[in-house]
Amino acid sequence: MGKYVVKLQKYSGEASRLWEVEDFEEVMVNDTGTKAMEAIWLQYIQKLCFSEKAMKNMRRLRILYIGGFHIHVDSIEYLPNSLCWLAFYHYPWESLPENFEPKRLVHLNLRFSLALHHLWTGTKHLPSLRMLDLSYSTNLMRTPDFTGMPNLEYLNLSYCSNLEEVHHSLRCSRKLNLLYLCFCTLLKRFPCVSGESLEYLYLHDCYSLDTFPEILGGMKPELKIKIERSGIRELPSSIQYLTHITKLNLKDMKKLESLPSSICMLKSLVELDVSYCSKLESLPEEIGDLLKLEKLDATCTLVSRPPSSIVRLNKLKFLSFAKQTSEVGLEDRVFFVFPRVNEGLRSLEDLDLGYCNLIDGGLPEDIGSLSSLKKLYLIGNNFEYLPRSIGQLGALRHLYLSDCPNLKEFPQVNDGLRSLEDLDISYCNLMDGGLLEDIGSLSSLKKLHLDGNNFEHLPRSIAQLGGLRVLDVSNCTRLKELPDFILMPELYFLDLIDCMSLEEVHHSLGFFEKLTHLCLYNCKRLKRFPGMCIDSLQCIRTRGCSSLESYPKIIGSMKVESEIHMLDSVMCDLNSNSSFPHSLSQRIVSLQHDISDSDSLSLIRVFTIDHPEKKIPSWFHHQGMDTSVVSVNLPENWYVPDNFLGFAVCYSGELVDITAHLIPLCDDGMSWMTLELNLSRDSKCDTELSDYSECETELFDYSECDTEPTLHFFLVPFSSLWNTSKANGKTPNDYRLITLSFSGEMKKFGCRLLYKDEPELAETLLQMRENNDESTERYIGIRSNRYDNSEHHDSVTNEASCSSSMKQRSHSNIRGRVASLFRNIATLSCKSRNLA
């Protein structure tokens, strides 16, 4: 309604508002602006042009908003002094017109004005101005004189990266509430600001500012300060007046050398962050007076002697003096010493002293009295022995001791550390006897990292870790034997990379029903490996196992018997002409039906082999390459009730989505059978096998696997493809064409019809071939092309319509064990569908 009224005003020549670009251009070109004009609001204009005469006629213009433009005229001569609200993003000139003195101006916003150098010269009297925003004006060289802005409440100069000084007259703006100067990277001088009304002072990332501004009238208790990553060398003692502040972030202030003792008067302080203040050498002695403090982060500072009063911080939960690595830690001659606990720090849960150059005596002997401690990081230190009381940390869940090269032994637990779940003693050069002999008493242990050590044998008690899920002994080049795994039923990740002295693995590993990942890279002396249970197996890798006599035997329960036969046969086929595959993995994916009710889902196993040659096993005797659609003509009477299982498929390329179509000989367009196989990475996984993702991210580098040449195997079960309600009275033998559509990159493929009694069928087919030398492809022809659905329908109609005189033939290279594999896959898929 408002716009309608304004348009009526336009027709009478007295429009009060403009928002259409065409109307604005007309006014500027024809100088038709009138005193009736009160507001101009343009989101975007292609060519920006201001007419001085037209603007002078707008003596009542109160609002001018320009959101953006493409090109503009050379200069702006005039803006009405009647303006109360001026927002001009990307203002394209160096300054505002000199004759612009809008005494009623309340809001001035010139954000993103890259050409702006200064607002004006001298002093302008703007008694009504409340808000001034020049942020992101990266070429702004100086701020205006603020003497004439006594009511200014909001000043934003953030990201003015060439601004070097804030005018000292800012002290006159006593109503200033918010002052944003963050990312003014060249700002050097900012002498003072009025604190009477100031509630927000943001100076973070002002790298060149080395002096904290004087706050006239003192700091209000509710003042919020952000000064992290600034160049400020010291904090003012007046910071004590911020009595309501709960968080103080001084992170990454590279020039800060000390903290004033007055900071310990901030009784409400809950979090103090001085991390990465690389010149900070000490904390105030009175730090223990901050009784509400819960987090103190002094990571990557030079603090080497925390004040003894720190143990009085009984609400403290997080404490860190860690260095990133030994290269940026304390100098060798400076040793870190943590004060005696004296039963203090009663709430401390997380203590990080990594790379602090701790030596013997650096840790307090009574560290075991930290009754609430859950995480203890001691990585990268130089002690030889740990305090014996460490075994008394009853709440400890995570203990990290990696990269402590001088550690000679781990203290005996003596039934302590009952809550410990994660223990990392990697790369500590531990020899035989250095690892605690009673490690088996760590009843809650789930992850054990022993990689990079020098022992030849593991303690016998390690076999008692019944809850262990992850065992990493990679790069233990002297390790000669592994323990009996029979009492570790929960183990699902075993890493043996570069265990070059290992010759065999205990046979008990073959009984594991939860093992998902096994890595054997570069186990050069490994000769024998027990059978692997495939019920849960996700990945096994064997690259560099040059002495391995045979690929690990795949075993498992009855429900995976078909997969066992398949892998035996495929491995045999591949290895008859080349070396062992580098790895084997399997995924559980869903079959999505559109031929029965919408909730019908069944699961199928897709196996992947990393193999350099990417050769399709010869058992898949219908082969082709580089196509998106595969068509296989089916012989007469190809379907044998209770005998035919499905279509076995092998392909190389990236994992893809595949759609199978079973098409009748006399195609009525109504009877197609369709099944979708979702092989994408986000496909639904079996819940029993999905609990290995944490290990993937923490312990395995899968980028290499993505670049490996791979072969994929799966079965399209006939029981999942066929639906009698869609057949319209037809029988399976009325269908004479199967097509497979690949949605991703498919380089090579193989296909085969699978029967329960395939060995007997093979003999019959071979006999038929001896009696008739016609090509097999006459009755099972493979047509690989790229076409749309209509072209496909026509080709099926023309080539296959009512032709029933095909004769059965077969290929001579049939492997019975692989046939058994796919037979059982089909049985498993059928059972899964029935359960669904």
**What pLDDT digit, counting tens, does each position of 49-104 carry?**
888 888 888 889 999 999 988 888 777 888 999 999 999 999 999 999 999 999 99
User: Are 148 and 5 in the same domain?
Assistant: no
Quote the pLDDT of residue 740: 87
User: Are 20 and 114 in the same domain?
Assistant: no
In a domain, 183, yes or no: yes
Range 801-807 average pLDDT: 34
User: Are 631 and 731 in the same domain?
Assistant: yes
pLDDT at 40 over 60: yes
Quote the pLDDT of residue 812: 33
Q: What is the pLDDT of residues 623-668, one digit of tens each?
A: 888 777 888 888 889 999 888 878 888 888 776 788 889 999 888 7
Question: Using CA atoms, how far apart are residues 267 and 100, in angstroms rounded to an integer?
Answer: 50
User: Are 3 and 71 in the same domain?
Assistant: yes
pLDDT at 598 over 60: no
In a domain, 730, yes or no: yes
Contact (CB, 8 A) for 228 and 247: no
Query: Strand 200-202 relative to strand 178-180: parallel, antiparallel, unpaired?
Result: parallel
In a domain, 36, yes or no: yes
Quote the pLDDT of residue 476: 96
Nearest partner of 785 among 626, 663, 647, 673, judged by Cα? 626
Number of structural domains in the chain: 3
User: Are 831 and 717 in the same domain?
Assistant: yes
Q: What is the pLDDT of residues 124-162, one digit of tens each?
A: 999 999 999 999 999 999 999 999 999 999 999 999 999
Q: Give the DSSP letter of residue 689.
A: G
Query: Strand 629-633 relative to strand 735-742: parallel, antiparallel, unpaired?
Result: antiparallel
Question: Using CA atoms, how far apart are residues 316 and 321, in angstroms rounded to an integer?
Answer: 14
Which of these three, 232, 267, 295, is where a domain ends? 232
Contact (CB, 8 A) for 55 and 76: no
pLDDT at 828 over 80: no
User: Are 102 and 149 in the same domain?
Assistant: yes
Question: Using CA atoms, how far apart are residues 639 and 755, in angstroms rounded to an integer?
Answer: 9
Query: Bridge partners of 336?
Result: none
In a domain, 91, yes or no: yes
In a domain, 571, yes or no: no
Contact (CB, 8 A) for 250 and 228: yes
User: Are 695 and 822 in the same domain?
Assistant: yes
Cα-flanking dihedrals φ and ψ of residue 264, to 5°?
Answer: -80, 0
Contact (CB, 8 A) for 218 and 240: no
Quote the pLDDT of residue 347: 97
For tokens 């409400």, the residue is 268
Per the structure, the complete domain to which residue 134 belongs is given by 86-232
> Full-prediction pTM beyond 0.85?
no
User: Are 5 and 127 in the same domain?
Assistant: no
Instruction: Calculate Rg over the CA atoms of the chain.
Output: 39
In a domain, 139, yes or no: yes
User: Are 96 and 50 in the same domain?
Assistant: no
Which of these three, 216, 232, 248, is where a domain ends? 232
User: Are 158 and 37 in the same domain?
Assistant: no
For tokens 């050498």, the residue is 281
User: Are 79 and 104 in the same domain?
Assistant: no
Q: What is the pLDDT of residues 311-353, one digit of tens each?
A: 999 999 999 999 987 544 455 668 999 999 998 999 999 999 9
More confidently predicted of 264 and 561: 264
User: Are 40 and 101 in the same domain?
Assistant: no
Which of these three, 189, 216, 232, is where a domain ends? 232
Q: Give the DSSP letter of residue 435.
A: S
Quote the pLDDT of residue 90: 93
- How many Å from the N-terminal Cα to the C-terminal Cα in the chain? 59
Question: Using CA atoms, how far apart are residues 61 and 175, in angstroms rounded to an integer?
Answer: 28
In a domain, 503, yes or no: no
List for the chain the helix, strand, coil content (%; round to 5): 20, 20, 60
In a domain, 430, yes or no: no
